[in-house]
Every structure is written in structure tokens, then in C-alpha cells.
Structure 1
């Protein structure tokens, strides 16, 4: 019997199943072995299968602005949840620094949405492109959106958001354009040739520029009951709501804020973000740092108080007014330990809310700002149409 007859043949279906569990970095190396493997890695069906098998809630993409040599650039650092919790400084030191002044709009299924812009004398132009840190592939620029000065009178004239509609299997960027009276919603789908108008609704002052993506919806903190020219110091808590855009149905709605907030909003605007796949709201309340989390999206009663800790317990000094609002970077699997970034002291704080104790502190360079973290999964999703 020949050696070829003795060699076991692995069925192709089994080979695909095995490869769907292989890390992205290794798959990219395997592409050079055969034409079949090279084609398989970016086959849309295999990309979806690999995404389904990838570990969830174990990785984070940490982003921040780095001011180096009088030049500001965004940086991105993919890392494991455990490494970020226990070695945040080393995570920051090993990052990808963009050689262009992009703004990061969001992250979804391992795909990062980058925004670019140009400012002229009478208008501004905006466009986006997509980047996959795991495969290191970058897409092309989207069509440009031109905004003419004088057509708007609301604070935060326009807002962006990046998300994914699993029903249509489309990655999309949503652009909210606050005109004088109405707000136009436009959408760009990855690989499309234009921005599409989806709906028009009443204009409103927005308190967040980038939408927080949760469960097929993009969400912005808003003041729908306030008109143009409002002053934050006169806003009451019942005027705060969350504007939510449904990517699948192309409809908008408003979500309620948590019960138990102070009647008078704090001096600083609250921050709306995403933590472990849930909508999260953080703000000052007195001399405390307070964090709420919406356990079930869209259900007002699911708002849960996640953290209420004094700045004294965090060892953050309160001198002339409250410190800058800390940033939540990640939360442990059991929700007991969270990593915060404090700009006032330029340090990472590992806080154990179960024991009300500080488990660790690490300084970071004070030329780093605008820290943000996203749930991240290493994927093969292409940043352009296949």
C-alpha cells in the first residue's frame, strides 16, 4: 500500500470547522500555504462562522489621544481584559499610533470606524473609513458630507455613530444633521457609493457627539425639551433624555434616564457610553462619582446603580470645584472590580467596589487624554466590500 493511500484525508467541512477556531493572527499566516486557504480566510460565510466562534467579552480596544512633539494623534491598543485590568500602563505603551489625524467613531465586531475632516472658509467636509486592527487591513474613504456654515444654530451641530444591523448584515455609519428646525438622519453602508437619507425629525441640542452602540441602536444624550441657545446651568434633570436610533427599522425614539438622579444636573455634562454590551451613564452627584448601567436595553426599570463612590474614597482630591469626570475603561467578569482613568491625577485606578478599596494605581503620561474603551473581538471582517 502506498504512503498516499495510508494518509488520512480530513473532510473539508471538518477542516473549516477547525480553522474557524484558530486566532486571526495565525489564519493570516496560513493564507500563504494554499490558494484554498487564502480564499477561505476572507470568504463571507467563513468570516461569519469565525466571528461566532471568537471569544466574547475577553478583549478590549483602548483608544486615547496622545500629544507628542506638539502633535495630537489618536492611538489604539487591542488587549485582553485581564491585561488591561492589571497592567494598564504597559497596554498604553504598546499601541498603534495613527499617522493621520483620525477621530475614532466606534468599534463593532472587530471593525474600527475612523472619521476624517476638512475645514474650509465656508464649509466643513466629513468622511469615514474602516480599519481592522487584527488583520491590519484598511478600507477606502467614504463619500464626503459637506456642511455649510450658517445652516445650523444648535450646540453640537451634527453627530456621528457607528453600528451593525445583524438583520441586514450591514455595517453602517449614522450622521445626524441638526438644521435650524429639523434634524436629518443620513446613513452610509460599508462599501456603498453614497449617504442615504432615512428620516427627518425635530432638531434638538445634543450633549454627546458620538453615538453609543447597543443592541442594534445608536444612542446620544440629548435635550429634546430645550430650544436653541439653552444654558446647561438652567437645565433640569427631567429635560435630559437619550435619543435612540434603530438601525434595522430606521426609526428614532427616546429612552428615559435612571430614577434617582439629582434634580439639578451636576456642573459637568454626564457621559453616555457602553460597558460590557450595556448602556452606561456616569456623572457627578455631590462629591461622588456615580455610574448607572441599563441591564436590558430599552427597559427603563433595568437601570441599575453600578457605582456610587466618593472622590475621597478614590483618593482623588477635590479642591476648587469637582475633578474632571473619571473614565470607566473596563469591568471585571464578576462586576466587582473596575479600572478608571483620572485626568486630574493622571493615573489609572483599579477600584474594588465590593470591598470599597483601591487595588492598584498606575501613573500615565499627562499628555494622554480622551481615553475610551470598546468591547473588542479579533475578527476577519473586511473593512471594504468583498
Structure 2
């Protein structure tokens, strides 16, 4: 007795990627089905909707690792396409944008399928003094064009230091569909991003930006390739020492540190773009010798813990939301975990998968 195709597809959509990758070898029709764009998208959408097939991807010393979500158990070292240490520039839908420590080309990497796409090299702009320039990268998804994009922002100061404007800017956008870089249509952004990390939410890449004493969240919308600014929450500006963007439950959030980075507040923007929707979720005092919270990563599945990055020590910690006690995350096979990202399984196969990295 054979099952209808619709039932087979429904069963397969419920399986983890590891099983589906193995099932590609069952027969040609299953190989074509599981590799098909429609199946890949439906499997991703179901995983996101049900909050299943999730993993942590993180740096452990000079390697990139993946572990079970919520527990950091069963860590494995990923076979990423660099021979040296790597930094995660951004992540979305289970794809990571990676940059190596020696500034080789950026790579879009899928840890689920262990495939990657090497981006074309960015040429140097003749109009910039690259010794005084800072490069900022971001990664996300254009929901209108249905295209993954990487953004490069080159900023050159005026010689008075990076906190003093004005800034020259050059913004380049890479399209995975077109496999090419092009100059963005956007005008210059009058804020310096410093060395702060970015986060992708609501079709936009966000940085904390500042010039002189003015601070705002700067957003680059991948749909129309324009910059905009979002106000920060009303907080104690005199004692403010550090600000970092993040994402919680699909909403933009902001971690603000005070008093020489000893205490932190975590805010969430309940309604995107509405200043009055900023809500303070937690106030976290420095305890047990731990440093201030740099940025949230995610809630645990049971919503009783919040995983966060800690400043300075650069490790991931869990906060018990009942007691507000902080514990550094330590798994059975590792004791140093930084730069964690929550990744959903994505069956997308990236085309440079069979290339040798040189």
C-alpha cells in the first residue's frame, strides 16, 4: 500500500534536517523533493512556527561549534570554510555570515547542510583613506525581493576621532540572488557605529550609533536600502556606559549598562518604530563577580531563563528569571562559549559547497 504524496510530504516536513539529508539517498524523487525550493521553505516556516529544530551556534576559542538549544549539550565542531578563527557578522533563518580573522572574503554559511557561498571580494574605494576607515558588516533578508543580503558600511572620520562627525560613508549591498556587490542608493548616515555588533529584525539591520553626545539606533532597511534612526529609551544618560542591540521574541531590544558596567537594564521595543513602546523588562545588578550584561541571546524553552552575553569576559551566561542569579554556561565538553546565535535548521544548499578553500 502506498501513501498519497501529500501525506508523505506532511510526514517529512515534521522531521529534523539530519534525517531529511539522509533520506535524500532513498530515491531520486525524494532527493528532488527535499532539495526543492518549496519544500525547503515549508520546512523552515514550520520550524520557525513551532520553535523546533533549533540549535546554538557559538565560538569556542578559535572554533565554531553547534550544540543543542536550551542545554548546550552534544556540542560539535563545525566544518566551516576557514582555516583560522572566525567571527559571525550576522545570522538569519539559520544562515550565518562569517568573516575570518585575516579579513578574507565574507562567506554565507549554512551549518545545517554544511554548505557555503563565498562572496566576491570588495574592492577598495579610491575616495577613502583606508588607514582611518572602519568597516561594518550586516546580514539579513529582503522579504520583498526574497533575497539574502549582506551590507558593508565603510566609515571614514574627519581626523578628530571616531566620536566626532561628520563621517564619510560608502554603503555596498551584496545580493545572494545576483551574486554581486553594488553601491547602495542611500545617502550617508551621520552616525558612527564604533565596534558594536548589529542585529537583524523587521527587515532591517540595526546598530547603536553616535556622534558627539547624540546616540540613536541606526537601522538599514534591506527592502529600500535606506537608513533611518530609532530613539533609545528614556534612561539615565549621565551614568550610561554601554549600549547593545539584540532581539527577544522577535522584537528589537536594547541592553544598557551603567556605573562602570556594573548594572544593566534590558529594554524591548514592543511596537517597532514607536518610541513610547519601549518597555523595561529587567534590571540586573552585578553579582558574584560577574560583569554587566552585554546583550540578550534568547529565552529558554520553559521561559524560566534568559541567555545573555556578558561584557569583558565575553562568555554566555544564563539568568534565572525567578532569582536573577547569573551562571556562566559550561557544557560537558567545553568551558568557553562566546558570540552565541540561535539557529533554526535550514535545508538550503549553497552553491560553493564543493569548492576547496584556499
Q: 2:221 aligns with which of 207, 222, 246?
A: 246
Q: Report 1:285-324 matches (<5 A).
A: 285-286=258-259, 287-311=262-286, 314-316=287-289, 323=291
Question: Is contact 1:154-1:204 (8 Å) kept?
Answer: no
Rounded Cα–Cα distance in structure 1 between residues aligned with 2:232 and 2:43: 37
Output aligned runs, 1:1-386, within 5 Å.
8-56=1-49, 57-58=51-52, 59-66=54-61, 73-81=62-70, 83-84=71-72, 90=73, 94-96=76-78, 98=80, 99-116=83-100, 127-139=105-117, 141-147=118-124, 151-152=128-129, 157-179=134-156, 181-199=167-185, 200-223=187-210, 225-226=211-212, 235=213, 239-259=214-234, 261-267=235-241, 269-286=242-259, 287-311=262-286, 314-316=287-289, 323=291, 325-333=293-301, 335-342=303-310, 349-353=317-321, 355-358=322-325, 368=336, 371-384=338-351
Q: CA deviation at 1:297?
A: 2.1
- Greater Cα shift, 283-292 or 107-116: 283-292
Deviates most, 145-154 or 272-281 = 145-154
Give the whole-Å Cα distance in 2 for the aligned partners of 1:282 and 1:359. 16
Distance in 2, matches of 1:162 and 1:104, equals: 10
Superposed CA deviations along residues 184-222 of structure 1, whole A, max 9, x for unmatched, are 221101153420112232443213454310011001111
Query: 1:290-327 deviations in whole A, cap 9, x for unaligned?
Result: 2112222222222111211211xx3226xxxxx46555
Instruction: String of CA shifts for 1:217-276, please: whole Å, max 9, x gaps.
Output: 0011111x43xxxxxxxx3xxx110110111122110000011x1122534x32222233
Q: Report the CA distance shift for 1:94/1:343 in structure 2 as closer, same or farther (over 3 A).
A: farther
SS in 1 for 2:2: coil
Q: 1:217 to 1:348 in 2, by over 3 A?
A: closer
The size of the alignment, in residue pairs, is 336
In structure 2, C-alpha distance between the alignment counterparts of 1:153 and 1:144, rounded to whole Å = 16
Contact 1:126–1:146 (8 Å) recurs in 2: no
**Helix, strand or coil at the partner of 1:174:** strand
Give the Å deviation of 1:363: 5.4
Residues of 2 paired with 1:79 and 1:366: CA distance?
13
CA distance in 2, matches of 1:283, 1:341: 13
Q: 1:23: Cα distance to partner?
A: 1.3
Deviation by residue 1:336-369 (Cα, 9 ceiling, x = unmatched): 422345467787643233x334385555899846
Q: Check whether the contact 2:20–2:34 (CA below 8 A) recurs between aligned residues.
A: yes
Deviation at 1:20, TM superposition (A): 1.9
Structure 2: any 5+ residue segments left out of the alignment? 158-166, 354-358
TM-score normalised by the chain length of structure 2: 0.81
| Alpha-carbon distance in 2 for matches of 1:53, 1:189 | 25
Contact 1:324-1:343 at 8 Å conserved across structures:
yes
Contact conserved, 1:214 with 1:279, CA < 8 A, in 2? yes
**TM-score scaled to structure 1, two decimals?**
0.76
